[in-house]
Amino acid sequence: MAKKEKRGRGIATRAIHGSKTEDKVEVKGPCSKVPIFQTANYRFPDVQTAANIFAGKEEGYFYGRFGGLNATIIEEKIASLEGAEAGRMFSSGMAAISNTMIALFEKGDEIISCPTVYGCTDDLFSHFCPNKLGIKVHFVDLNDLENLKNAINKNTKAVFIESPANPTLEIFDIRLIAKVCKEHNLIFMIDNTFASPYNQRPIEMGANIVFHSATKYLNGHSDVVAGAVVSTKKIIAKVKATAGLLGPSIGPFDAFLINRGLETFELRMQRHNENTAKIAEFLSGHKMVSVVYYPGLATSGNRILALSQMKGCSGVLSFELKGNMKMVEKLLNYLSDNTFIKLAVSLGSTTTMIQCPALMTHAAIPRAKRLEKGIADTMIRLAVGIENYEDIESAFKEAFKYLETQNGCAAHLRRSTRHIINTGRRLTKTQKKKRKNR
C-alpha cells in the first residue's frame, strides 16, 4: 500500500498544506518586534479549549471579527495611554462611535452633544441615530452648564463632546461636564481625536468613554483608517459583544501599522504642538487672515481653560481668510499645486494638510445650520504636520503673496480683522457675562 500522505496529494491540498515549517510556526521566541498575524482565525489546541472559549469560560482568540493578537496589543497600549481599563479597536473612528451607540443605547434614549462635531458624527447624530435607532441627540451649547442641566430629562443617558471640537477648536470644561454627568448618572463620552492622549486624558478628569479616530495622531502617518474606544472593562465588554456581532473590526496589518506609529507618538505630538503654536501666531498676525481659531493663542478666550486640561494645544487650527470662497479656492489650489501642503481631509499625519470644511468635511450640514455652528464659508482648517516649521511658514508666505496679486484682493484686505479668536460661535451677552465671571 502506498504510504499515506498527511499533506494530501492534490495540487490544491499541497499548495495549502505543503509546508512542514508553516505548521510549526509558533512565535514564542525573543523577536524584538511582534509580527503581523495575518490570519482570519486561530487554531484551538483541543476541543475542550474551543468549547470553553465559545462558552466564555476561557479567554482566547478564535476568529478575527471578535479580535486578534495585533489588535489586542494596540488596544492595551491606547487604553494605557488614556488611563483606561480596557479598549477595543475598530476599522474606523466612525465605526468606533456608531458601534458604541448601538452597544450602549436603545430606542427612546436621549443623548446631549456639543453643537459642533466632526461632519459624519453630526450626520450620525442628526439623522442615523434618531431615524434608524430611535435615539434622539440634542445639540446644546455646553459652554454654559445651565444649558446642559436644562437639557437633561428622564430619558437622557449620555453626554458626548469633542474638545477641541472639529473644526471650530472650541474647548469645553471636561471636569465641570463630568461633574454634572456624575450627579445625573449619565455616561460622559468624549472624542479625544484632536487632542490625543499626549495632550489630554479625559478619563483622569471624570469622562467615562474616550473615542479616537486612530486614523489621526495615534497612527500618525495617514496610511491607515481605524478607530478606538477605551473605557471600563464593563463598558468595553458590551462594546466588544456588539462589535463581534456587527463586525467593524480592524485588520491585523492596520493594527500592526498603528503599533509601529505609536512608537513615535510622543515625538510626533511634540512637533505637532510646536509647529501649530508657531503657525497660529504667524497666521493671526497676517493681514490676509481675519480670525484664527486656536486655543493656544494668547488672545484666545479659551486659552486658560485649554491649558487647565491640556498639556499642549495639538496640531489643528482653523482660520478665516479676508475674502470670499473664490479666494479660498485660489489659496488652497495654490498651496496644493506649488508647495508640499496637501489638499486633503484628515489630520494627525506627518504631512501638513489643508481643507475647507464648508466644502468638504462639514459640507453635508445645511448652510444655515453650519453657520450657526460657527463654520463660516471661508473657514480653512489646517492640520499641521511635522515638517520643519520654516518650510510651512514659507509655503504660506508664498501663497499669500500670490493671493495679493489677484483681482479684488485689495478690497478684501480693507475688511477689518476680528479679534474674537476664541470660539466658533458668537456668544450671547449672557454667555459673555458668565464666561467673564467663571
Residues contributing to the site for ligand PLP (CB under 6 A) = 92-94, 118, 120-121, 162, 166, 191, 193-194, 213, 215, 225, 227
Report in angstroms how near the CB of residue 99 gets to ligand PLP at its nearest: 11
Give the nearer residue to ligand PLP in terms of CB position, either 93 or 323: 93
Give the nearer residue to ligand PLP in terms of CB position, either 213 or 314: 213
Give the nearer residue to ligand PLP in terms of CB position, either 218 or 403: 218
Amino acid at 208: N
End-to-end C-alpha distance for the chain, whole angstroms: 91
Give the nearer residue to ligand PLP in terms of CB position, either 166 or 284: 166
Report in angstroms how near the CB of residue 348 gets to ligand PLP at its nearest: 9
Residue 316 backbone dihedrals phi, psi, to 5 degrees? -125, 140
- How open is the CA angle 329-364-384, to the nearest 5 degrees? 50
Report in angstroms how near the CB of residue 158 gets to ligand PLP at its nearest: 16
Give the nearer residue to ligand PLP in terms of CB position, either 203 or 399: 203
Say which residues have a Cβ less than 8 Å from residue 54's Cβ, sequence separation at least 6. Answer: 62
Give the nearer residue to ligand PLP in terms of CB position, either 87 or 93: 93
Amino acid at 125: F
Report in angstroms how near the CB of residue 302 gets to ligand PLP at its nearest: 17
- How open is the CA angle 28-31-35, to the nearest 5 degrees? 85
Give the nearer residue to ligand PLP in terms of CB position, either 323 or 348: 348
Report in angstroms how near the CB of residue 186 gets to ligand PLP at its nearest: 21
Report in angstroms how near the CB of residue 100 gets to ligand PLP at its nearest: 12
Report in angstroms how near the CB of residue 379 gets to ligand PLP at its nearest: 15
Q: What is the distance between the alpha carbons of residues 433 and 425, in angstroms, rounded to a whole number?
A: 15
